[in-house]
A and B are shown apart, each in its own frame.
Chain A
Amino acid sequence: MKDVLFEIGLEEMPARFMNEAEQQLKEKTEAWLKEERIAYKRVTAYQSPRRLAVLISEIAPEQATIEEEMKGPAAKIAKDEAGNWTKAAIGFTKGQGASTEDLYTKEIKGVSYLFVKKRVEGRPTRDVLPAFKEIITHMQFGKNMRWGSETLRYARPIRWLVALYGQDVIPFEIAQVTTSNVTFGHRFLGGEVKIAEPGDYENLLRGQYVIPVFSERRDLIIEQIKVIEQEHGCSVPIDEALLEEVTNLVEYPTAFIGSFADGYLEIPDEVLITSMKEHQRYFPVLSEDGKLLPRFIAVRNGDSAHIDTVKKGNEKVLNARLSDARFFYEEDRKGSIRTYMDKLERVVFQEKLGTYHAKAKRVANLAKKIAELAGLDSDAAAKTEHAAYISKFDLVTNMVGEFTELEGIMGEKYALHFGEEPDVAQAIREHYLPVQANGDLPASDIGAAVAIADKLDTISGTIAAGLIPSGSQDPYGLRRQAAGILRILEDRNWDAAVETLIASALDILYAEVAGLSDQAKASEEVGQFIRQRAFYLLREQNIEQDVIQAVAGLEIGIFSYAVKKAAVLAQKRQDPEFKQVEEALVRVLNIAKSDPGHAVEPEWFATESEKALYEQAQTAEKEFVRYQHAKEEHKALEVLASLAPAIEQFFDNNMVMADDEKLKQNRLALLWHVAGLIRSYADLSAIEWKQQF
């Protein structure tokens, strides 16, 4: 049996697309072979910066021949009264190239239909293969482009195509490139080669200085780095993302070690590491006891010939970059926080929301409020306000201008240099946390308060400016920031209700900024937006939607408490012993849906049971509030549960909708009062109680 090879020759593909593209090509090929009913032994995909390829080993010479069942009209209209085939039946058989003798019936959902078996002959594989063109043109990449006068959009221009069935070229053309049996090796070390048989592909490329297998190139780099580590007695931490990128920037890797001037070690490690990793794609090198050495490891696309020239060139580039960095570091430290804050008056945060300086003032106000709500002492509160005010000063330093990924990190270092307290400096770094969905949170109270204030101001401001994220559009990363706020609140276990925080943020915002949407509307939108993130975080903790709705559907309150209440309710909804309690409490909620607008008048009570409920509710309330305050989710619910017998008595002995208007209104007021207690715990009516199952 023959093998088949397709190779797409490209101008250097973006490294970040390659692994996904290889996987996609393999899956699309397998799906296509299945769809086309062509048997094969194995599909192997290959990739390197200049190619994507797929080898189909031992392909069947023709498609499988199959019998398909074709469904016709219902059997009841197939024969006339005389028992002859009707026009409908005859028409169907003709249409299928069959005769009435081939007809049989089969039931589908209780109705009998006519069927015939139709044989679909397999075509020779050779005739089917040109259609693989569609698989190639339908590959999807993160970003596509056009080139020349072509209309096709692809990751990068296609420059050659190999399509082989055994020794024969499968003819087709894409964007004026015609298939052949000729491939190209390494851009400089390899050449143009003819592929005699698809199975030769991999070895042929190796001979041309191309290793078309990602894992092999990666492992080779790791091995080469290990050798360098041993030779030089150093240690090289492998950053997986960097390793993947570097692997996909070369067809034939050769790792080498280079050095930079010792003097640059006075620049902070973070700057050196960013320079090496982000800008040059080098691996930083550590001594055996973990200190950064003035060395780097780079990976060349080629062999070790003239490696000294390559090394020298790379050293020159890195030294020039570090010379810039040192210049920035020295210059930046000549300034002062004051001068940087002044500069922030010229940097726009968002068109409608003003400058970063204006934002800093708002965030400082809000952070102070948060420190109060969180119960920080007056010293910490003052530091929080100050840290919030200066939290963005490093944005206008030279270093952060050049290395934006060092925002906050440089802020901390420079703040210390300018004589700020260590915990204030730390908060500047921490206020950007968490950087990723599950990333580290601020480790200090001050950092946490500033982080919440900064994020909440951004979210409230952006939404109030009419830029609410929709679908995949979230340019400011507001969703991540909202989740960040909730995670920090949970982590700190602070008694700050989300709704209180939002109200504070908006009050500060609207006092300072004109031209925003209606505040009440913004308040609702921001609340809704953050609730959506709360739902998401709760779902991640495997809490079901109805319970989530109960604890956070109306408002979140104190998020860490909402999480705990959700856990209790998730368990109670399965607990048969809770059924009676739940029925009583939900009954109250169902009747007391709107505020009757007046308080309970104890002297208007007509029955003992309503009086009893009132009195018990009065006593329970004190206890309930105490537990709520202490965030004792079990105890608080127990107190509510203790009202169940009195509620039952009340409903058994009283008509709520009494004829006497005064009685009726008073009973509604009583129920509204009890419902308020229940709702402040959770909207139990949202829960699908499951005890009965």
Chain B
Amino acid sequence: MNIQEMILTLQTYWSRQNCILLQAYDVEKGAGTMSPMTLLRSLGPEPWNAAYVEPSRRPDDGRYGQNPNRLYQHHQFQVVMKPSPPNIQELYLKSLEALGIDPLRHDIRFVEDNWENPTLGAAGLGWEVWLDGMEITQFTYFQQIGGLEAKPVTVELTYGIERLASYIQDKDDVFDLEWTEGVTVRDIFFQPEYEHSKYTFEESNTDMLFELFNKFEQEARETMEKGLVFPAYDYVLKCSHTFNLLDAKGVISVTERTGYISKIRSLARNIAKAYVAEREKLGFPMLKEEVSE
């Protein structure tokens, strides 16, 4: 099964479980969790079921396309369900079967792994799911987001697409994976991997990035003060990515580093609170919809 078919299969499968199929969010981010479709929507009492592919950028993992396992940008398939359904493990295992993974032929295990992202004031409990010893999915019950209690609890499934594909297609090098018939990951992503690595580690304009960080941060704060949660959050994501670029280049000094992280953290926390407040003002519309059904 090539990557394209895997994505289609997962989309069809989760769509049948009443997940809203969304497209990747158009601001750079390090993980699917950071999309507002997960991070903000997991806040507050409104139900939320969604699935989407998230291209995730991790500048520090850039390897000029030379490492068989590490990428500047990889893909996650993200599923979030709030409140977490009682049969979520079964639903997840059936999704693996849909990908052609017969549990009787393999060894599938749920191994304790608790997740924490202090920058976003977020924490969750769950497992990494092992397929014959390989971690293929992060399975997390959110307990806290943006410093607020997650209530009801959102469950988040993050499939590592390239990981899973390397198993399904039995390839050792990520660039050899077939994206669709006759097209490999190398064909599509090798050049950007190389160029982004070169840009990140050698060519980026550091002064401009510092300037951008400060501007994005200021804009995030001012936008939030106007009660515009989503645009404010976009600027937080931009801050976070800009910071990652600077950090990967190694130009952030010790004292600055702590300062930058705490700026992002306090923004994220304030936005989490503001999001819940704004939804409350609207009367939690998605909650009403469900009741009226």
Interface residues of A (CB under 8 A from B): 11-12, 14-16, 49, 143, 145-149, 156-157, 159, 176, 187-189, 249, 280-281, 298, 300-302, 305-306, 309-310, 312-314, 316-320, 323-324, 327, 345-348, 351, 354-355
B195 CB to nearest chain A CB (Å): 22
* Of the residues A11, A313, A316, contact of B89 by C-beta under 8 Å: A11
Range, interface on chain B: 35 or more
- CB of A346 within 8 A of CB of B253, answer yes
- CB of B153 within 8 A of CB of A346, answer no
- In the complex, number of A-B residue pairs with CB atoms less than 8 Å apart: 113
Can you show 15 pairs from A to B with CB atoms below 8 A apart?
A12-B110, A145-B125, A148-B83, A148-B85, A300-B107, A306-B104, A309-B105, A314-B107, A314-B132, A314-B133, A316-B134, A317-B132, A320-B69, A346-B252, A347-B254
Q: Assuming A11-B110, A306-B105, A318-B133, is B257 touching A148 (CB within 8 A)?
A: no
Q: Give residues 202-239 of B contacting A (CB, 8 Å).
A: none
- CB of A14 within 8 A of CB of B133, answer no
- CB of A146 within 8 A of CB of B104, answer no
B131: which A residues are within 8 A, CB to CB?
Answer: 313
Q: Which residue of A lies closest to B66 (CB)?
A: A327
- CB of B107 within 8 A of CB of A302, answer yes
- Say if the beta carbon of B24 comes within 8 Å of chain A: no
A113 CB to nearest chain B CB (Å): 52
Can you add 9 more A-B contacts, CB < 8 Å, to A298-B133, A306-B104? Answer: A12-B109, A148-B83, A148-B153, A149-B83, A309-B105, A310-B107, A313-B131, A313-B134, A317-B132
Q: Which residue of B lies closest to A303 (CB)?
A: B104
A161 CB to nearest chain B CB (Å): 13
A355: which B residues are within 8 A, CB to CB?
Answer: 254
Q: Which of B68, B69, B105 counts the most A-chain CB atoms under 10 A from its CB? A: B105
- Say if the beta carbon of B250 comes within 8 Å of chain A: yes
Whole-angstrom CA separation of A15 from B112 in the bound complex: 7
Contact bitstring B75-89, A, C-beta under 8 A = 1, else 0: 000000001111001
Q: Which of A176, A302, A318, A354 counts the most B-chain CB atoms under 10 A from its CB? A: A302
Whole-angstrom CA separation of A298 from B130 in the bound complex: 13
Kindly list the 3 A-B residue pairs having the minimum CB-CB distance in the complex, ordered from nearest: A313-B132, A14-B112, A12-B110
Q: Assuming A145-B125, A146-B153, is B84 touching A309 (CB within 8 A)?
A: no
Q: Assuming A16-B112, A316-B167, is B106 touching A310 (CB within 8 A)?
A: yes
Q: Assuming A317-B132, A318-B133, is B114 touching A143 (CB within 8 A)?
A: yes
* Of the residues A148, A320, A348, contact of B86 by C-beta under 8 Å: A148
Q: Give residues 34-91 of B contacting A (CB, 8 Å).
A: 67-69, 83-86, 89
A149: which B residues are within 8 A, CB to CB?
Answer: 83, 151-153
- CB of B132 within 8 A of CB of A301, answer no
- CB of B254 within 8 A of CB of A327, answer no
- CB of A348 within 8 A of CB of B106, answer no
* Of the residues A12, A176, A187, A348, contact of B127 by C-beta under 8 Å: A12
- CB of B132 within 8 A of CB of A309, answer yes
Q: Assuming A310-B132, A313-B132, is B67 touching A327 (CB within 8 A)?
A: yes
A302: which B residues are within 8 A, CB to CB?
Answer: 104, 107
- Say if the beta carbon of B187 comes within 8 Å of chain A: no
- Say if the beta carbon of B100 comes within 8 Å of chain A: no
Whole-angstrom CA separation of A62 from B50 in the bound complex: 53
- Say if the beta carbon of B7 comes within 8 Å of chain A: no
* Of the residues A16, A49, A143, A314, contact of B125 by C-beta under 8 Å: A143
Contact bitstring B99-143, A, C-beta under 8 A = 1, else 0: 000011111111110100000000001010001111000000101
- CB of A317 within 8 A of CB of B133, answer yes
A146: which B residues are within 8 A, CB to CB?
Answer: 141, 143, 150-151, 153
Q: Which residue of B lies closest to A160 (CB)?
A: B86
B107: which A residues are within 8 A, CB to CB?
Answer: 300-302, 310, 313-314
A306: which B residues are within 8 A, CB to CB?
Answer: 104-106
Q: Which of B93, B106, B150, B250 counts the most A-chain CB atoms under 10 A from its CB? A: B106
- Say if the beta carbon of B258 comes within 8 Å of chain A: yes
A313: which B residues are within 8 A, CB to CB?
Answer: 106-107, 131-134, 167
Interface residues of B (CB under 8 A from A): 67-69, 83-86, 89, 93, 103-112, 114, 125, 127, 131-134, 141, 143, 150-153, 155, 167, 170, 172, 250, 252-254, 257-258
Q: Assuming A149-B83, A320-B68, A346-B254, is B141 touching A309 (CB within 8 A)?
A: no
Whole-angstrom CA separation of A347 from B105 in the bound complex: 46
A147: which B residues are within 8 A, CB to CB?
Answer: 83-84, 141, 153, 155
B153: which A residues are within 8 A, CB to CB?
Answer: 145-149
- CB of A188 within 8 A of CB of B103, answer yes
Whole-angstrom CA separation of A249 from B257 in the bound complex: 39
A323: which B residues are within 8 A, CB to CB?
Answer: 68-69
B122 CB to nearest chain A CB (Å): 14
A298: which B residues are within 8 A, CB to CB?
Answer: 133
Whole-angstrom CA separation of A63 from B51 in the bound complex: 55
- CB of B104 within 8 A of CB of A188, answer yes
Q: Which residue of B lies closest to A356 (CB)?
A: B254
Q: Which residue of B lies closest to A49 (CB)?
A: B110
Whole-angstrom CA separation of A319 from B167 in the bound complex: 13
B86: which A residues are within 8 A, CB to CB?
Answer: 148, 157, 159, 176
- CB of A148 within 8 A of CB of B152, answer yes
Q: Which residue of B lies closest to A313 (CB)?
A: B132
Whole-angstrom CA separation of A392 from B24 in the bound complex: 42
* Of the residues B69, B111, B132, B152, contact of A324 by C-beta under 8 Å: B69
Q: Which of A145, A159, A323 counts the most B-chain CB atoms under 10 A from its CB? A: A145
B85: which A residues are within 8 A, CB to CB?
Answer: 148
Q: Assuming A145-B143, A280-B133, is B111 touching A249 (CB within 8 A)?
A: yes
Q: Which residue of B lies closest to A351 (CB)?
A: B258
Whole-angstrom CA separation of A12 from B106 in the bound complex: 18
- CB of A301 within 8 A of CB of B133, answer no
Whole-angstrom CA separation of A205 from B257 in the bound complex: 54
Whole-angstrom CA separation of A147 from B93 in the bound complex: 19
B253: which A residues are within 8 A, CB to CB?
Answer: 346
B105: which A residues are within 8 A, CB to CB?
Answer: 305-306, 309
Q: Which residue of B lies closest to A189 (CB)?
A: B104
A245 CB to nearest chain B CB (Å): 9
